[in-house]
Structure formats: structure tokens, C-alpha cells
Chains A and B, each alone.
Chain A
Amino acid sequence: MIDWIIIILSTLGTLFILLAGVGIVRMPDIYLRISVTTKAATLGIGLILIGAAMYFNELGITSRVIAIIFFMLLTAPVGAHMIGRASYFTGIKLWEKSVYDDIKGKYDTKTHELSSSNKNQPGSNGEPST
């Protein structure tokens, strides 16, 4: 019984990691790549670690696994946001077919401060950038 639970959990986790690997190769844009890989890899690692915790079935191992999953859930969005922000500021273009750039013209190019009001270009207040 516990063997089948371990097999199902590790298979699902491995499928999600494989999907993340396919997504990072196939996606056309760095922002889409960040979006795919963060979510898929976090869920896949969580499922594999839960399978390992069910295999060992001790309190120390289970608390360690819960600590790893909690840390991953905390740090994966923070890291993805930081690398996305840095790549937007270093001037990496969006995919040419993406229809909406939400922060275009809304940040100071010198100090890298985002602002809700539009100071640099008063005309473009978040319209679709076609």
C-alpha cells in the first residue's frame, strides 16, 4: 500500500519536473520561462519530497522534509521576481506576440524605482502596446 503511494507521488513529481524542462526549452520568452519553471518545479519537488517522507516514516525526516518544502515555497517566488525584475531592467524584450506590458514607462530609468503614477511619458498610461 505505502509502496503504491510512493510510486504515484514520485511519478507525478517527476512528470512535473519533466514539464518544467520541456517548458524552459520551448517557451519563447524569458518571462514565460520564469513563469513555467517556478511553478512546475516547486510542485514537482514538493511531491517527490513528500514521497521520500512517506518512505522513511520518521518524525525527524518528516520535519526536515516539511522545512525544505516550506523554504522552497518561500524562496521560489522571491527569486523569480528578483530575476524577472533584473531582466526587465537590463532591457530584455518581451515576446513579439505578447499583447500587454503592464509597467511600460512606469519606472524611473535612473533609480529603478517603480511608481504608480506616470512621470516620464504622460501619454502611455498602461495601454496595450501594439
Chain B
Amino acid sequence: MSVSDYLYYVILPVLAISILLMFVRFVKGPSLSDRVVALDLMLTSGIGVIAVYSVYTDQPTFLDIAMIMALIAFLGTVAYSFYLEKREKND
């Protein structure tokens, strides 16, 4: 069993299952903050999926997309928390 087989048949399905678990919280979450946390965690796990997939396809260019995804996840979390706090202040 080579490395790419192991990554394709073991690692990627486990990552997909964990992203499904996070999606359960994203759908179910009682408040907006739960959904923001779940979305941030899903984007962060997407970085891991991209890294594993770049090893599987032997294309190191995908790691640039992973860096941009980390930037977008951080920006999204900061913007959501900023406007949540601002909305509470204006009420």
C-alpha cells in the first residue's frame, strides 16, 4: 500500500466525515456565533483537505490556495464578530 493509496482511501474519507460533523453543528447551531465557529472550523479543515490532495496529485501549487483560504477564514471570523458586537451595541 503506497502513500497515495493510504491518503486516498483512509485520510480523505476521515476528513470528509469530520467536515460532515462540523456541518451538523453549522445547520443545528442555536446561535449565530455557533455557526460562525463551525464555518471557521470547516474552512480550516479545508486547508487540511487541500494539503492532502496536493500530496495525492503531486501538485504543490495547491498550497497557495490553502494560504489564501487561511486568510479568508480569519477575515470572515473577524468581520462576523465585529458586526455581531456592533449590532448588539446599536440595539
User: Is A24 a contact of B37 with CB atoms below 8 Å?
Assistant: yes
Q: How far is the CB of B72 from chain A (nearest CB, A)?
A: 11
- For B17-31 the 0/1 string (1 means CB < 8 A from A) is 111111011000001
Which residues does A use to contact B, with CB under 8 Å?
3, 6-7, 10-11, 13-14, 17-18, 20-22, 24-25, 30, 33-34, 37, 41-42, 44-45, 48-49, 51-52, 55-56, 58, 60-61, 64-65, 67-68, 71-72, 75-76, 78-79, 82-83, 85-87, 89-92, 112
- Contacts A/B (CB < 8 Å), 8 sampled: A3-B2, A30-B31, A49-B47, A49-B48, A68-B70, A72-B47, A89-B88, A92-B31
The SS class assigned to the B binding surface is helix
Q: Which 5 A-B pairs have the closest CB atoms?
A: A21-B18, A21-B21, A87-B33, A86-B81, A79-B77
* Interface residues on chain B, size class: 35 or more
Residues of B within 8 A of A10 (CB): 7, 11, 52, 55
Q: How far is the CB of A55 from chain B (nearest CB, A)?
A: 5
The SS class assigned to the A binding surface is helix
Q: With A24-B25, A55-B3, A87-B33 in contact, is A68–B63 under 8 Å at CB? A: yes
- Report the number of A-B residue pairs with Cβ-Cβ less than 8 Å: 161
Distance between Cα atoms of A76 and B43 in the complex (Å):
12
User: Is A75 a contact of B41 with CB atoms below 8 Å?
Assistant: no
Which residues does B use to contact A, with CB under 8 Å?
2-3, 6-7, 10-11, 14-15, 17-22, 24-25, 31-34, 36-38, 40-41, 44-45, 47-48, 51-52, 54-55, 60, 63-64, 66-67, 70-71, 73-74, 77-78, 80-82, 84-85, 87-89
Residues of A within 8 A of B37 (CB): 24, 30, 33-34, 37, 83
Known: A41-B41, A45-B45, A90-B33. 8 other contacts (CB 8 A): A11-B11, A25-B25, A52-B51, A52-B63, A55-B55, A68-B70, A75-B70, A83-B40
Distance between Cα atoms of A115 and B5 in the complex (Å):
56
